[in-house]
Copies of this chain bind each other. A is one copy, B any other.
Amino acid sequence: MPGKTTSEQIVETADRLFYEKGYEHTSFADIAAEVGISRGNFYHHFKTKDAILNAVIDLRLINTRAMLEQWEQDGQTPEDRIRCFIRILITNQTKIMEYGCPVGTLVSELAKLNHAALADANRLFTLFRDWLSLQFKALGREEDAEELAMHLLARSQGVATLANAFHDETFIRAEVDALSMWLHERAREAA
Copies in the complex: 2
Interface size class of A (residues with CB under 8 A): 35 or more
Check A108 against B161 for contact (C-beta < 8 Å): yes
**Chain B positions within 8 Å of A24 at CB level:** 22, 24-25
Q: Which 3 A-B pairs have the closest CB atoms?
A: A158-B158, A154-B158, A22-B112
* Closest B residue by C-beta to A100: B108
From A100, A112, A164, A175, name the one whose CB has the most chain B CB atoms within 10 angstroms: A112
Check A161 against B99 for contact (C-beta < 8 Å): no
Check B150 against A171 for contact (C-beta < 8 Å): yes
Check B20 against A112 for contact (C-beta < 8 Å): yes
- Answer whether A159 and B162 are a contact pair too, CB < 8 Å, given A108-B100, A109-B109, A111-B100: no
- Answer whether A175 and B161 are a contact pair too, CB < 8 Å, given A24-B24, A112-B20: no
Check B158 against A122 for contact (C-beta < 8 Å): no
Check B107 against A108 for contact (C-beta < 8 Å): no
From A98, A105, A113, A122, name the one whose CB has the most chain B CB atoms within 10 angstroms: A105
In whole Å, how far is A144's beta carbon from the nearest beta carbon of chain B?
A: 10
